[in-house]
Amino acid sequence: MTLPRPSTGRILFPVTVLTVIVADQVTKALALAAWGGMPGPRTALGPFRALLVHNTGVAFGLGHGRPVLITLITLAGAAATLAAAGAGLRARSRGAALGLGLIAGGAIGNGADRALRPPGPLRGAVIDWITVAGRGPVFNLADVALVAGTLLTAVALLRGTVRERTAVRSAAGPDPDRIPGPAADQGRGPGLGPGPPPDPGAGVVSLRPCALRSAPRRPPRPAPSPAPGAPAPRRSPRTPGAARASLRPCPPPPGRPARG
């Protein structure tokens, strides 16, 4: 008995979520330990700069000083995380499972800071510690996972839509109105659909006399009644040449080739 194969999301989605959560929380703990929990100076890491910030707003440091808005966004993020988890577990493609896993992992990583860190539940400060070249907003790995997961999920959904349309067209079969071939040569040109059906009598040489085939048929004239006592009229015999001429094949009509 062959067991049903589990969907890709049942394996790839939880692995991605756990990886993002662990990486995000570990890097935040390292940033707190490096600066003693206090906002620290910038440290060059190639094109990036490490700068510890306690963010009481939303992603990328937005929404400071609006606790009600932050609470609503946090609750909406929790609902979106549950929806992403349900869709990710049922995902059939790797791209969708990976993208939804990044979204769920990033949301849980920031949500844990919001729920557990001071100043209080649903109002806790998120630890941000990355900036690019010392400019722009400060963010963390959870923010990176959220953005990357959103883009990857959008690409996966677009590819899935294109594949479904292609499969439907393939199952429907080719369009007969668009098939070039001998049918298109019957006076319509290639690619414009089938022309009129071929003439089954094309190329057939008729053995009927041309006069009988071309001339319209007329009803035979009645023979005159012989006078009383007069001898019956004699019929003139046909010559062999006349018989052969009547069986001479007719030439094909114009535009119709004769069969060899």
pLDDT over 50 at 243, yes or no: no
Which pLDDT score is estimated for 176? 54
Domain count, the chain: 1
Catalytic residue among 24, 113, 128, 175: 128
143 is catalytic: yes
Indicate whether 147 belongs to any domain: yes
Indicate whether 121 belongs to any domain: yes
Indicate whether 105 belongs to any domain: yes
- Give the pTM: 0.60
Indicate whether 157 belongs to any domain: yes
113 is catalytic: no
pLDDT tens, position by position, 62-107: 666 666 677 777 778 888 888 888 888 888 889 999 999 999 999 9
Indicate whether 84 belongs to any domain: yes
What is the pLDDT of the chain when averaged over all its residues? Answer: 74
Catalytic residue among 24, 143, 185, 199: 143
Range of the domain at 59: 9-164
Indicate whether 170 belongs to any domain: no
180 or 128, higher pLDDT: 128
Indicate whether 79 belongs to any domain: yes
Q: Residue by residue, what is the 3-state secondary structure of the chain?
A: CCCCCCCCHHHHHHHHHHHHHHHHHHHHHHHHHHCCCCCCCCEEECCEEEEEEEECCCHHHCCCCCHHHHHHHHHHHHHHHHHHHHHHHCCCCHHHHHHHHHHHHHHHHHHHHHHHCCCCCCCCCEEEEEEECCEEEEECHHHHHHHHHHHHHHHHHHHHHHHHHHHHHHHHCCCHHHCCCHHHHCCCCCCCCCCCCCCCCCCCCCCCCHHHHHCCCCCCCCCCCCCCCCCCCCCCCCCHHHHHHHCCCCCCCCCCCCCC
Indicate whether 178 belongs to any domain: no
